[in-house]
Amino acid sequence: MCDASHPNAGQDLRQAATEDADPAETAEWREALQALAQSAGPGRAGYVLENLLAHAASLGLRANGQTRSAYLNTIPADQEPPFPGNLAVEERIARINRWNALAMVVRANQAHGELGGHIASYASAADLFEVGFNHFFRAQGPDGPGDLVYMQPHSAPGVYARAYLEGFLNDEDLAHFRQEITARARGLRGLSSYPHPWLMPDFWQFPTGSMGIGPINAIYQARFMRYLEHRSLAPASERKVWGIFGDGEMDEPESIAALTLAAREKLDNLVFVVNCNLQRLDGPVRGNGRIIDELETLYAGAGWNVIKLVWGSDWDALLRRDATGALARAFANTVDGQFQTFAANDGAFNRAHFFNQNPELAALVADWTDDAIDRLHRGGHDMVKIHAAYHRAARHRGQPTVILAQTKKGFGMGTAGQGKMTTHQQKKLDDEALLAFRDRFALPISDADCLALKFYRPAPDSAEIRHLQARRAALGGHIPRRNTQSPRLPAPEVAQWGRFALEADGKEMSSTMAIVRMLTALLKDATVGPRIVPIVADEARTFGMANLFRQIGIYSAQGQLYEPEDIGSVLYYREARDGQILEEGITEAGAISSWTAAGTSYSVNGLPMLPFYIYYSMFGFQRIGDLIWAAADQRTRGFLVGATSGRTTLGGEGLQHQDGSSHLTAATVPNCRAYDPAYAYEVAVIVEYGMRRMLDEQHDEFFYLTVTNENLAQPDMPADPAARAGILRGLYRLRPARGQAQVRLLGSGPMLREAELAADRLRDEYGVDAEVWSVTSYSELARDGREAERARLLGLPAAPDADWVRACLGDSQAPVIAASDYVRAVPEQIRAWVPAPYRTLGTDGFGRSDTRAQLRDFFEVGRDWIVLQALDSLGRAADVQALRERLGAATRHTPPWAQ
């Protein structure tokens, strides 16, 4: 028998032993199988073997290569540990939470039908949460930061209901569920729809509202905890990352994208609980199949420890009486769509349509009443079974664990919602349904209070409150709770690590190479260096970062078990258990999840870290924008570096790689500070500022920088002391005109050099005096402009230079020409605040493969096109016509964005 008290009960058979402890016994088994195959045939031998494997699974064992077991609980009843709590009291607590969660949603929608909310999800998951809260989820305290719990978002009302019983939320809080603005106006606290740290920064830790975000973030969070331990930045601990997710959510690619990483790195600090209520919003998750079987195969195949929690304790007696295996066969032949139908109906229906399939099944319940059949629970509604699964998962070693818990969606909602196709959308219940729900869970609530949807909290000295508080005290206190305090980390002065950029003296280099050089220097800083987390998605060599392989090493939980082919090189591929680089391979979703884990370490671990995720800029906001949005919600701090950026600057790579839109998307993220610097000194000033803002001043924001692979002669930092402020605010004058400027040229990123060359041509060929301005951030300028405009409209005080565009450009009516390597909508952000005629050039359309000069001509953004726009804005008709002819305007019938 498998000893359930052993920490590895339920492990793969291939892990159970590395040597044969009894070769003679093993030989007997092999000979018996061979004899059976010879005497009874391979069919019979195969059947017996499959039967043995199924029995092994029932003992909590899984054979090498076996990924599916019988549709039964992984942990047999005789292997369950004793339940350590007061079962009756804990069941009453769960019932109270069910009521308060339901009342919260129904009250909100009775008052304001547009608010929405979900009842059925938490109804199915309540016991899964309660066992965790009462026995497993450890809060941060003197002994350490505590466990991390990623909560199923649609179950948020139940988590609020739990916090209400614990005294961390009050009646007014619950009454303002999904009414955050209304609550604030009343001096109260509203409750966000789903877990949102931005909206409730002292409560929620992790945003999980967008399906799939929670699972991948949880995996990389567990991995980052190990990274900190292996780098000796955090002590080894028994902390766990728990994730309670839905079965329908597993269809999201992000949910399952990193399963093999978790197994490969042996993340036994990670436990997923998948609430298999068999339903998503529109209908069954797998109506014609079984989602639990599918997920078991998926997770086991990926290398996870799988615990199936299918049936409650009420079924144990039936299974013991099932001498012929009829019940197990009936389970195996029933698909989820039918299980849903059984969930939606009563005991009489289940007798008629499930047990009366054949005489053997019917005999099992012949002496049972219909009510007794109706009370047969699924595993996810049985606290004893749930505890056994959590207990084993928490003690398993060498693998992450997933618990596949079968539940009924809308459990306890009766005819109003249990198992119904429409239950996910159920937000209101009529009087009869409310009273039936109260009676179903034996709640001590009067008819009047029930129909008034009053929240219920037992007296402070009641058995329920005393037990609940005692359990949370034993586990360290309230959870969820987000830490908003962390140690400050002083940022080193730019002169210590970026002097080469401030005093470049015309040396040629790309801005990508400049930031890598800065990063290399920062890694040597005694204070900040160990906290930097360089992250790449298999592009380090592209960005010139290979020198870091040997210097700081590539993190590997296993170290390096081979001799790399390039061992003799100074740039050899060095993996190490204490390596600093996170080389994620070809997975931007994984890399950004690592960046989020590192960038929230100040809160999650009480340890500020500084992640630099460097990637092809096209594969950032456009590809993983949802994960970046969640990181912003989570108050992540760090640098995103979009390298090889610009639609015309990344020449030969073509359409799929050339980024012309990331700055447009970045501008929509409220706490993203996005910059498109041209020169190395601009990069240095922005990096220093970002470090100070995030590490020292502890602002909950992150910085996005785009850098290019175009080598340019790098000028020194301008002597004008106003340049630094202008770089950070988004605009400064790089080159003044010789006299009164006739035209102002604005350039950002690689287009700044084009603007400078256009100014030279205007002066030398046309006698036009132009000044050149560097735009480091259109989004920062637009935010300043909007804020100034709002202050004016509302009669609020504002600084004289609040509108930085107007403050810089003044009252002159000299035309302004802005050129960007991004779509026109990027420079168009500031049109409202430009006080003169304003024209924009951008790279709208699909990219192409060619040289930079050809691309800039194709998109009509290069120096010639800047000159053409300037001349046209000045009314120089003859010069404009001559330049049109030179550019072949007569043959350019189709605009680049239409090609």
Backbone torsions φ then ψ of 404, nearest 5 degrees: -100, 100
d(CA 470, CA 166): 10
Which H, E and C letters describe 76-99, residue by residue? CHHHCCCCCCCHHHHHHHHHHHHH
Where does the pLDDT of residue 234 fall: very low under 50, low under 70, confident under 90, or very high at 90 and above? Answer: very high
| Beta strand segments in 561-609, E | 575-576, 582-583
Do you find a cis peptide bond into 480, omega within 30 degrees of 0?
Answer: yes
Q: For residue 371, what are the CA distances in angstroms to 149, 346, 351, 407, 520?
A: 37, 8, 10, 19, 71
Q: State whether residue 251 is helix, strand or coil.
A: helix
Give the residue range(s) of CATH 3.40.50.970 domains in the chain.
87-313+377-474, 495-545+581-713
Beta strands 241-246 and 148-150 are parallel
d(CA 162, CA 541): 50
Where does the pLDDT of residue 67 fall: very low under 50, low under 70, confident under 90, or very high at 90 and above? Answer: confident
Give me the sign of the Cα torsion angle 597, 599, 679, 743. Answer: positive
CB-based contacts of 834: which residues, under 8 Å, 6+ apart? Answer: 805, 809, 816
Superfamily of domain 495-545+581-713: Thiamin diphosphate (ThDP)-binding fold, Pyr/PP domains (3.40.50.970)
Where does the pLDDT of residue 61 fall: very low under 50, low under 70, confident under 90, or very high at 90 and above? Answer: low
Beta strands 532-536 and 582-583 are parallel
Token pair, residue 589, equals: 């979703």
- Which tens digits make up the pLDDT trace of 236-282? 999 999 999 999 999 999 999 999 999 999 999 999 999 999 999 89
* % of the chain surpassing 90 pLDDT: 87
Angle of helix 87-111 versus helix 431-440 axis, rounded to 10: 170
Residue 588 has pLDDT above 90, yes or no: yes
Over range 433-453, report the average pLDDT.
95
- Which tens digits make up the pLDDT trace of 649-677? 998 888 899 999 999 999 999 999 999 99
Residue 13 has pLDDT above 80, yes or no: no
Beta strands 712-713 and 508-509 are antiparallel
Residue 461 contacts residue 455 (beta carbons within 8 Å):
no
The predicted pLDDT at position 421 comes to 75
* % of the chain surpassing 70 pLDDT: 96
The predicted pLDDT at position 12 comes to 46
- Which tens digits make up the pLDDT trace of 18-55? 578 899 999 999 999 999 999 999 889 888 887 787 67
Token pair, residue 826, equals: 């990027």
Of all helices (H) and strands (E), which one includes residue 264? helix 259-264
The predicted pLDDT at position 17 comes to 46
d(CA 748, CA 830): 13
DSSP track, 799-849: -TTSSHHHHHHTT----EEEE-SS-TTTGGGGGGG--S-EEEE---S----
Token pair, residue 657, equals: 């790689």
Token pair, residue 375, equals: 């009370």
Of all helices (H) and strands (E), which one includes residue 276? strand 270-276
Token pair, residue 584, equals: 């994620």
- Which tens digits make up the pLDDT trace of 367-424? 999 999 999 999 999 999 999 999 999 999 999 999 999 999 989 888 877 877 776 6
Residue 65 has pLDDT above 70, yes or no: no
Single-letter code of the amino acid located at 585: G
User: If you search the block for the tokens 């429409």, which residue do you land on?
Assistant: 422
Residue 14 has pLDDT above 60, yes or no: no
The C-alpha angle 627, 632, 637, rounded to 5 degrees, equals 110
d(CA 371, CA 374): 5
730-898: which CATH number, 3.20.20.140, 1.10.540.10, 3.40.50.920, 3.40.50.1000? 3.40.50.920
Residue 861 contacts residue 841 (beta carbons within 8 Å):
yes
Where does the pLDDT of residue 64 fall: very low under 50, low under 70, confident under 90, or very high at 90 and above? Answer: low
Neighbours of 483 (CB within 10 A): 16
| Beta strand segments in 602-678, E | 610-616, 639-643, 672-675
87-313+377-474: CATH architecture: 3-Layer(aba) Sandwich (3.40)
CB-based contacts of 528: which residues, under 8 Å, 6+ apart? Answer: 489, 491, 492, 522, 610, 691, 695
The predicted pLDDT at position 412 comes to 83
The predicted pLDDT at position 50 comes to 77
Token pair, residue 38, equals: 């010879």
Where does the pLDDT of residue 100 fall: very low under 50, low under 70, confident under 90, or very high at 90 and above? Answer: very high
Residue 429 contacts residue 102 (beta carbons within 8 Å):
yes
- Which tens digits make up the pLDDT trace of 759-812? 999 999 999 999 999 999 999 999 999 999 999 999 999 988 999 999 999 999
- Which tens digits make up the pLDDT trace of 880-895? 999 999 999 999 999 9
Where does the pLDDT of residue 16 fall: very low under 50, low under 70, confident under 90, or very high at 90 and above? Answer: very low
Where does the pLDDT of residue 623 fall: very low under 50, low under 70, confident under 90, or very high at 90 and above? Answer: very high
The predicted pLDDT at position 45 comes to 87
Backbone torsions φ then ψ of 620, nearest 5 degrees: -105, -100
| 834: nearest Cα among 855, 860, 857, 815 | 815
The predicted pLDDT at position 18 comes to 53
Token pair, residue 875, equals: 């009314």
- Which tens digits make up the pLDDT trace of 276-306? 999 998 999 999 999 999 999 999 999 999 9
Beta strands 639-643 and 610-616 are parallel
Q: For residue 630, what are the CA distances in angstroms to 33, 102, 511, 535, 596?
A: 55, 27, 28, 18, 9
The predicted pLDDT at position 4 comes to 34
CB-based contacts of 325: which residues, under 8 Å, 6+ apart? Answer: none
Residue 134 has pLDDT above 60, yes or no: yes
d(CA 597, CA 605): 10
CB-based contacts of 771: which residues, under 8 Å, 6+ apart? Answer: 733, 735, 736, 737, 741, 744, 745, 759
The predicted pLDDT at position 59 comes to 57
Over range 536-549, report the average pLDDT.
94
Where does the pLDDT of residue 116 fall: very low under 50, low under 70, confident under 90, or very high at 90 and above? Answer: confident
Q: pTM of the predicted model, to two decimals?
A: 0.94
Over range 517-533, report the average pLDDT.
98
Q: State whether residue 114 is helix, strand or coil.
A: coil
Beta bridge partner(s), residue 576: 555
Residue 6 has pLDDT above 50, yes or no: no
Where does the pLDDT of residue 217 fall: very low under 50, low under 70, confident under 90, or very high at 90 and above? Answer: very high
Over range 696-702, report the average pLDDT.
98
Single-letter code of the amino acid located at 460: P
Q: State whether residue 406 is helix, strand or coil.
A: strand
Where does the pLDDT of residue 111 fall: very low under 50, low under 70, confident under 90, or very high at 90 and above? Answer: confident
Give the CA-trace dihedral at 333, 336, 339, 344, to 10 degrees: -160
Angle of helix 680-691 versus helix 722-729 axis, rounded to 10: 70
Residue 413 contacts residue 105 (beta carbons within 8 Å):
no
Residue 478 contacts residue 160 (beta carbons within 8 Å):
no
User: If you search the block for the tokens 């060599």, which residue do you land on?
Assistant: 541
